[in-house]
Amino acid sequence: MTNPLLQDWTGPFGLAPYDLIKDSHFSPAIEIAMAENNVEIAAIAGNSEPPSFENTIEALEGAGEALDKALSVLFNLMGADTNPVRQELQKEWSPKLSAHSSAIYANTALFQRIVTLWDARDELGLDDEQARVLMLAHRGFVRAGAGLSGDAADRMAEIKSQLAVLSTDFTQNMLHDESDWSMDLPEDMHDGLPAWLISAATSAGQAAGKDGPVVTLSRSLVVPFLQYSTGRDLREIAYQAWAARGANGGKTDNRAIATEVLKLRQERAQLLGYKDFAAFKLETEMAKTAANVRNLLETVWEPTKIRANADAAILEDMMHADGVNGQLEGWDWHYYAEKRRQAEHDLDESALKPYFQLERMIEAAFDCSTKLFGLGFKKLDLPLYHDDCLAWEVTRDGQHLAVFIADYFARPSKKSGAWCSALQTQSKRPKAKAPIVFNVCNFAKPADGEPALLSYDDARTLFHEFGHALHQMLSNVTYGSIAGTNVARDFVELPSQLYEHWLEVPEVLATYATHAETGEAMPGETLQKVLGAANFDTGFQTAEFVASAMVDLAFHEGDAPEDAMARQAEVLADMGMPHAIGMRHATPHFAHVFAGDGYASGYYSYMWSEVMDADAFEAFTDVNDPFDPDLAKSLELNILSAGGSKDGETLYTKFRGRLPEADALLKGRGLIA
């Protein structure tokens, strides 16, 4: 029987043939592709010719293509459309793939070839990009433990395997808790809920096999429920379920897993000669040290705490005026903040949502990229992994540039959050490849026949993820290992957060924020209110983020905690965290940190990048033209197309002429004048 995962993908643009791929294809395909990769690695390591950049580093760039193809499809489905079979595949293959990777890094002959090239790097005649790729390859092998031997090497392999299993368990436990909980919403529980929210809850009920509307733990449903439901007891039930993901006891509890992960990470770092995991992880980032991260977070925290406490006092007074005694709680904040926004800014989100239609916001994101970078978008009719998915061919000057796939709606088979990934990364050598990029979001799906309406925050998320996609689609480097988003973690959020600013451009909203029923543009007065309220509730939003970043840093700096939850509580108490504000991601569902180590000791990176994005957009406001062609060209050349060809400091300085200060962030969030 033919396995489509092992065939050449000859369909349009080399896209995976999703209509032919079955779950039963994955295991045999991965097994065969892994064996092929072992043969490729053995050939590179055992090459009788002296090591050269071409026969070693460039050969490694091209190795594992068959394995990468199969895994790109599987990992995509695991996050965006999982099922019990795929969850078992993830459990089965995570430790095997970890062992496969460990074996490559432990190949002493291969590592010696890289060391030989590294030692002779100044005599090899490499161009800047080749020198960068060599440096990253050498550094990657060293940091993976290639210099270890004997018991230390064996232990490193064991740790990586254990971490792979634990991160899989963490992810699946969180997904179980998110998809397993729902609260029925009979008609007598609709008080305060706008029609669009009841419609979205009805659609969620249909997806869950229920007869009526339900609240789920999708952020796009639970947060607006907390904003509008007049039933404080109902808000408390929903909030507590939202906060308790991964901490409900039993088989899906993540608290012990988090503690074990932190201990293994510390041991891994110390095997490599670092004092702790934070020192190991931050060495390659723009921040460099935990002290620099802490300085940024503490600089932001002080004005944030003042603002958040002042806001809490106002909201608590509003609650008392409603006849509700006692302390403001987490399930009260969104409700009274929404009431306050309506009172102070004359803005009601339920009246705003019809102006933020999903289709129009997609058009807005596309149009901004057309004006800035000359991109064109043509809708494609291709088999994809879910009926909700959409696809476009991306072109410039009539030439194919990329394929962009979008999967916007929440469903039980999708993990929470929003992300961008690549099914294929841009490269020129050893094989030319055009990017295939997808955005995944969790917007509330409307009932059949009704338009999909977004909140303003949802629209920002759409622009944010499309900024990541642009980083991939505009990549123009030679080697895939430094293409697109293959950059330092605290630099990768710059393009995405910077692109959010174009949603706030008045002419963009005036053109694309049109009413779902009347088709009329948002009135100018309403538009000014939307922009004027951009920093409303910034104390809450900044506090929940900084708390998560501070806890993440504390987890990885110094000795690993004996109890992750106790350490979390200690950090929040030391910060003076306002009572009614929780972490944006509490430890048991902190997927950024525990579903893999991508953002471990690095959750701060969103804020580090925000310092840059606030400053970078000022370049456009300084010339009073958000679509200034010279600045757009410089942004593409020096940041979006450059990938990881240079370090972040160099790339940013080439665009802006200098590095920014934290004041840009504080001003952007309205925390200082």
465 annotated active-site: yes
Which amino acid type is present at position 510? Answer: A
For residue 433, which phi and psi values (nearest 5 degrees)? -140, 135
For the chain, how long is the longest CA-to-CA vector? 83
Tell me how far apart the alpha carbons of residues 27 and 5 are, in angstroms, rounded to a whole number: 10
* Element holding 255 (H helix, E strand): helix 255-271
Tell me how far apart the alpha carbons of residues 664 and 192 are, in angstroms, rounded to a whole number: 38
User: By 3-state DSSP, what share of the chain in percent is helix, strand and coil, each rounded to 5?
Assistant: 60, 5, 30
Tell me whether the omega of the peptide bond preceding residue 186 falls within 30 degrees of 0, making it cis.
no
Spell out the residues 6+ positions from residue 349 whose beta carbon is closer than 8 angstroms to its own.
224, 227, 338, 341, 455, 456
Tell me how far apart the alpha carbons of residues 426 and 478 are, in angstroms, rounded to a whole number: 8
Reduced to 3 states (helix: H, G, I; strand: E, B; else coil), residue 479 is coil
- The strand pair at 399-409 and 390-396 is best described as antiparallel
Tell me how far apart the alpha carbons of residues 48 and 34 are, in angstroms, rounded to a whole number: 23
Q: Strand runs (DSSP E) across 156-270, as ranges?
A: 182-184, 214-216
Q: Cβ(114)–Cβ(124) under 8 Å?
A: no
What does each C-alpha distance from 368 to 141, 397, 501 come to in angstroms? 40, 16, 11
Tell me how far apart the alpha carbons of residues 585 and 568 are, in angstroms, rounded to a whole number: 11
Q: Strand runs (DSSP E) across 141-275, as ranges?
A: 182-184, 214-216
Q: Cβ(454)–Cβ(462) under 8 Å?
A: yes
Q: Cβ(617)–Cβ(501) under 8 Å?
A: yes
Residue 309: how many other CB atoms lie within 10 Å: 15
Which amino acid type is present at position 107? Answer: N
Query: Which residue(s) pair with 214 in the sheet?
Result: 184
- Please tell me which residue in 178, 465, 500, 544 is annotated as part of the active site: 465
Nearest Cα residue to 248 out of 586, 547, 555, 580: 586
Q: Which DSSP string do the residues of 378-397 spell out, in sequence order?
A: EE-----SSTT-EEEEEEET
Q: Cβ(330)–Cβ(241) under 8 Å?
A: no
Spell out the residues 6+ positions from residue 590 whose beta carbon is closer than 8 angstroms to its own.
258, 548, 552, 583
- The alpha-helical segments, DSSP class H, found in 456-521 are 456-473, 489-500, 506-512
What does each C-alpha distance from 438 to 402, 469, 640 come to in angstroms? 11, 7, 17
- The alpha-helical segments, DSSP class H, found in 501-604 are 506-512, 524-532, 538-556, 564-575, 591-594
Which tokens go with 361? 């916001």
Reduced to 3 states (helix: H, G, I; strand: E, B; else coil), residue 400 is strand
Tell me how far apart the alpha carbons of residues 423 and 73 are, in angstroms, rounded to a whole number: 7
For residue 20, which phi and psi values (nearest 5 degrees)? -105, -15
- The alpha-helical segments, DSSP class H, found in 557-602 are 564-575, 591-594
Tell me how far apart the alpha carbons of residues 507 and 499 are, in angstroms, rounded to a whole number: 15
Which residues are catalytic, by number? 465
